[in-house]
Amino acid sequence: MDILRNIAYQPASGGKMCEQTLGRVVDSSRRWRVPAEGDHIHHTCPTSASEVSRIITDPSTGKRYCRGRVLGKGGFAKCYEMTDLTTNKIYAAKIIPHSRVSKPHQREKIDKEIELHRTLNHRHVVQFYHYFEDKENIYILLEYCSRRSMAHILKSRKVLTDPEVRYYLKQIVSGLKYLHEQEILHRDLKLGNFFINESMELKVGDFGLAARLEPLEQRRRTICGTPNYLSPEVLNKQGHGCESDIWALGCVMYTMLLGRPPFETTNLKETYRCIREARYSLPSSLMSSAKHLIASMLSRNPEDRPSLEEIIQHDFFSQGFTPDRLSSSCCHTAPDFHLSSPAKSFFKKAAAALFGGKKEKAKYLDNHNKLPKEDEEIYKLRQDLKKTSISHQPQNPRTDEDSKTVSKSSVLEKSDKQQMGDMIRMIVRGTLGSCSSSSECLEDSTMGSVADTVARVLRGCLENMPDSDCIPKEDISTSFHWVTKWVDYSNKYGFGYQLSDHTVGVLFNNGAHMSLLPDKKTVHYYAELGQCSIFPTTEAPEQFISQVTILKYFSHYMEENLMDGGDLPSVTDVCRQRLYLLQWLKSDKALLMLFNDGTFQVNFYHDHTKIIIANQSDEYLLTYINEDRMSTTFRLSTLLLSGGSNDLKNRMEYALNMLLQRCN
């Protein structure tokens, strides 16, 4: 465990000594100095201390502990697993022989670390539990993190994926924000000091170099930390501030994504020069938002670096997928978030998520395929459509049987086109289960019913549409609402969006929803799904004032800073019921939004394309907005007849996969 420091000593000018810690350097005005540029740093191992007893007793309480395996070694101490024999609770025990801290300044350093760490209590900070000492050693009992440190994970993995980096960075920022609020600087943020527990939660640890934040004029001018993570102002002895921890965080993010620190070179002198000049490379393989965030944290001027709050609001987080949790397998192998699988494996994963094992899947499909007598004509029509789509290849000779099939279909199209459209709509509607219409299924506007309905419609279309080289062309006048702008502020308040009629909505983190109507004077508040309270913005009930303020903030921000996402015309007064957001989900490629009336929208980040499925007069419409922000709207029944391009089909499959992930 990297909680401990490996300290070596070498003579320095004037008879002083230098302390070097696994790449960490410490400078004290009295006894220690940092290696000068060009100095050769020797790493020497401390003389081995006498073996610690297997059973250890706390003299002050009488509690007995059993020492286990070694977790890490340092210059002053070793860290062991240690089990409380009364409770069987396991700790990480830092055991420091008195012989190692016999000099006053050495003992003062340990006492200061204990005094600072024992006051801390946060989910993402290694918990301090207890300390005691006997005649031989000092014992510090800390939270046990069974997955070791981020340094161990990166050593095995080499690099991490963007979603993993977001996952870990959010937790680091949370812990660091707590420390800074306590006016504590960590001063040695690096992968080896981020520990991972059994649940894959990150904990900031090792407070051996931590210090209280001092006023600018009284800040420490000492140089301490790890050479690759030192900030320019620390190297220039301008003192430590919160900005120095932000710089180190930028180095951490860079290292996670690329597998090496940004300023790492073959010699210390060149590393220091690169740091002072803030000179490093950003490979083109990095996302633009990742580059921008790293560059802002590694600004040479401390005042130009973002705050922790600004970091977590950055596009790198707001426009990318962050998992709620990670599997322990991520310690050794890259995760598969099941959100970008090819079409062939997609349905296997979706079926597994929905039905479980093979037996359940077979049973479902068997029941699903047993059509009642009145639906036999629909089944026949579906088969005819498949045959027709296959036979639309003039260059191939047709058999008599093929000609009959095509002729029959052609006659059907010409003689009863309306009936055929109705039948196809029934195929799509039939995927809704027992409901006679989509509106009937959506009456209660619960997340489960709406998500299930949309998933069935989308799946039914994908399973039955033929292949095609192009997107269908239809001239349809649209009259539905869709999301033209959005902003994710869920780390603090919630998710905000603007509809095509300029209604602004916010789905708050507590599950409540609030809408500001286009007149900017009326608010709709949904404390529970389906139950709406309406009031003017100027007469908001006292308990809603703060949420109305946030709603207005979202509205102003989107109006001033964001651009509409497509060329669909704005519509007003077309909704049979007021639209509000039920669910949203972000992957590393797209944003999903699901509304109470069944409107389902997916925005793809990389090319800004969008898919919108909406129900209008009991007819499902699909709108596709391409990278040029030009929209095409067509009926799903048309898609069932003529098929869609692979590009569109792949996006529909991805959208369904996201929806299934959300439902499950």
SS3 letters for 373-384? HHHHHHHHHHHH
Cβ–Cβ < 8 Å for 339, 661: yes
The span from the CA of 287 to the CA of 588, in Å, is 11
The Cα-based distances of 25 to 75, 205, 300, 644 in angstroms read 13, 18, 21, 62
pLDDT at 11: 31
Using CB atoms within 10 A of its CB, is residue 639 exposed (0-12), middle (13-18) or buried (19+)?
A: buried
pLDDT at 273: 92
- Which secondary structure element, helix H or strand E, spans residue 96, and what is its range? strand 90-97
Q: At what angle do helices 417-430 and 400-415 cross, to 10 degrees?
A: 100
pLDDT at 470: 75
The span from the CA of 591 to the CA of 100, in Å, is 56
Question: Binding site annotation covers 94?
Answer: yes
pLDDT at 314: 95
In which residue ranges of the chain is pLDDT below 70? Answer: 1-50, 74-75, 215-225, 337-449, 475, 477-478, 528-530, 564-577, 661-664
pLDDT at 100: 86
pTM of the predicted model, to two decimals? Answer: 0.49
The span from the CA of 60 to the CA of 359, in Å, is 61
Cβ–Cβ < 8 Å for 438, 618: yes
Strand partners, 590: 604
pLDDT at 15: 34
C-alpha torsion angle, residues 180, 184, 188, 194 (rounded to 10): -60
Question: Which of the following is catalytic: 2, 27, 188, 206?
Answer: 188
Cβ–Cβ < 8 Å for 297, 306: yes
The span from the CA of 220 to the CA of 240, in Å, is 6
**Closest to 386 (Cα-Cα) out of 637, 620, 622, 640:** 640
Tell the residue number behind the tokens 């609770």, with chain if given.
89
- Which secondary structure element, helix H or strand E, spans residue 151, and what is its range? helix 150-157
pLDDT at 530: 56
Collapsing DSSP to helix, strand or coil, 641 comes out as helix
188 flagged as catalytic = yes
